[in-house]
A and B are shown apart, each in its own frame.
Chain A
Amino acid sequence: MTKKEDEFQAKIDRDIKIEPKDWMPDAYRKTLVRQISQHAHSEIVGMLPEGNWITRAPSLRRKVALLAKVQDEAGHGLYLYSAVETLGTDREQTIDDMHSGKAKYSSIFNYPTLSWADMGAVGWLVDGAAIVNQVALQRTSYGPYSRAMVKICKEESFHQRQGYELLIHMCNGTKEQKEMAQDALNRFWWPSLMMFGPSDKDSPNTVQSMAWKVKRYTNDDLRQQFIDMTVPQANFLGLTIPDPDLKLNKETGHYEFGEIDWDEFFNVVNGNGPCNKERVSARANSKKNGLWVIEAANAYAEKQRIKKKVA
């Protein structure tokens, strides 16, 4: 290691945050750009499966909650794109990398939201899993990323609560409503577990990311934490988690669970999930069809500047 690298690692070891203009190894910068941009894309693409249900929310109460949640996701995308930008990247290039397939987003958003109960399952499980991940990332070593996480965590806890509340109502409703809730859990359970990423033994970046404190816990640790938290919540709803191998190990206090279908995970990550094409094309078209707004606003701003100069 060079002297600069030594000093950098010494800072990390002393839990001193790294700020944008500080010296950092290229590989650290690259890891952050990959991870934060992937996180940003997930926030933005995550608006699509829920936006799908805004006009069909069953009451005004549910509708304002869903609207507020989707609006939050847009804000969260912005905080994260801003954080990526502090690393010297071009924001629009970052966005284009997602449209071209070069950059990924969370594979969970490649699953469709088929019924209203899915809005409950997404809030409870998908946001629940995201929160476990993001609470841990509040202590990540890169300052702007850490600050974005603090802000996002503050805003996000209502996301999970509104989803769980919605499911409580459905589970206390008619037989059909409860079946819808169970069906949503059946479809979202395994993809939610996959949100934490591949198992530690198949996650080649984990060791370095932990040494740099970009990540504070491994994928498997966070996944276990989520399962331990969520099983009692499913029991309260009277729903069954679709895993026959799930059982509490009384000695460790942790739930043991069945094998995750990693073939499915990598298949979806590689673009072959049920909605990959739809999601990416929705985002790419949104940019393409909105470019004229950006240009028009620039032209208007320029005109105003000239007017002010003349006046």
Chain B
Amino acid sequence: MTNGNWPLWEVFIRSRQGLNHKHVGSLRASDEEMAIENARDVYTRRSEGISIWVVLSSNVHASNPTEKGPMFDPAEDKVYRHPTFYDIPDEIGHM
């Protein structure tokens, strides 16, 4: 390890019971235990969370931003996947 770098971890926090873990940032730590402790100190100093996940950044695999078009455009012309595409008479009320 050169120049004192620890591995990079991505931090996810569940802010309260019933909500999903959400990415809040990253930090460096020598192992998962230290990563969780540091995440506690850095990202939950004002009761922002009740549960922490840490994931080595090198284990995160991402879609390629330059392929955003072919990846996500196909969903755009499929309006029939949305409820507003279908006509329901007013007297039926909410459906």
Q: Interface extent on B, as a size class?
A: 20 to 34
- Pick the residue among A79, A93, A287, A297 that contacts B30 (CB under 8 A): A297
- Pick the residue among B2, B6, B26, B62 that contacts A297 (CB under 8 A): B6
The chain A residue sitting closest to B1, CB to CB, is A298
Given A75-B42, A155-B46, A294-B4, A82-B26 contact (CB < 8 Å): yes
Within A280-295, which residues are at the interface with B (CB < 8 Å)? 287, 290-291, 294-295
Q: A206 to B10, alpha carbons, bound, how many Å?
A: 33
The chain A residue sitting closest to B2, CB to CB, is A92
Q: Interface extent on A, as a size class?
A: 20 to 34
Q: A108 to B27, alpha carbons, bound, how many Å?
A: 27
Q: A75 to B6, alpha carbons, bound, how many Å?
A: 17
Q: A59 to B30, alpha carbons, bound, how many Å?
A: 37
The minimal Cβ–Cβ distance linking A55 to chain B, given in whole angstroms, is: 21
CB-CB under 8 A from A91, the residues of chain B are 5, 28
The minimal Cβ–Cβ distance linking A132 to chain B, given in whole angstroms, is: 22
Query: Is B4 a contact partner of A85 (Cβ separation < 8 A)?
Result: no
Query: Is B3 a contact partner of A92 (Cβ separation < 8 A)?
Result: yes
Query: Is A301 a contact partner of B31 (Cβ separation < 8 A)?
Result: yes
The minimal Cβ–Cβ distance linking B1 to chain A, given in whole angstroms, is: 5
Q: A211 to B27, alpha carbons, bound, how many Å?
A: 31
Given A91-B28, A301-B31, A295-B45 contact (CB < 8 Å): no
Within A131-166, which residues are at the interface with B (CB < 8 Å)? 147-148, 151, 155
Q: Interface of chain B, helix or strand or loop or mixed?
A: loop
B54 contacts chain A at the CB level, 8 A cutoff: no
CB-CB under 8 A from B8, the residues of chain A are 85
One digit per residue, 1 when the CB lies within 8 angstroms of any chain A CB and 0 when it does not, for chain B 13-42 equals: 000000000000111101100100000011
A21 contacts chain B at the CB level, 8 A cutoff: yes
CB-CB under 8 A from B27, the residues of chain A are 78, 82
Query: Is B25 a contact partner of A79 (Cβ separation < 8 A)?
Result: yes
Residue from the set B4, B8, B31, B64 with the largest chain A CB neighbour count within 10 Å: B4
CB-CB under 8 A from A75, the residues of chain B are 41-42, 45
CB-CB under 8 A from A19, the residues of chain B are 65
Given A78-B27, A297-B6, A298-B6, A21-B65 contact (CB < 8 Å): yes
A22 contacts chain B at the CB level, 8 A cutoff: yes
B contact set with A: CB distance below 8 Å: 1-6, 8, 25-28, 30-31, 34, 41-42, 45-46, 62, 64-66
Query: Which 6 residue pairs across A and B have the least CB separation, nearest first?
Result: A297-B30, A301-B31, A92-B3, A301-B30, A294-B4, A21-B65
Q: List 16 additional contacts besides A71-B45, A78-B42, A297-B31; criterion CB under 8 Å.
A: A21-B64, A22-B65, A23-B65, A72-B45, A78-B25, A78-B27, A82-B27, A85-B8, A90-B3, A93-B3, A155-B45, A155-B46, A287-B4, A294-B30, A298-B1, A305-B31
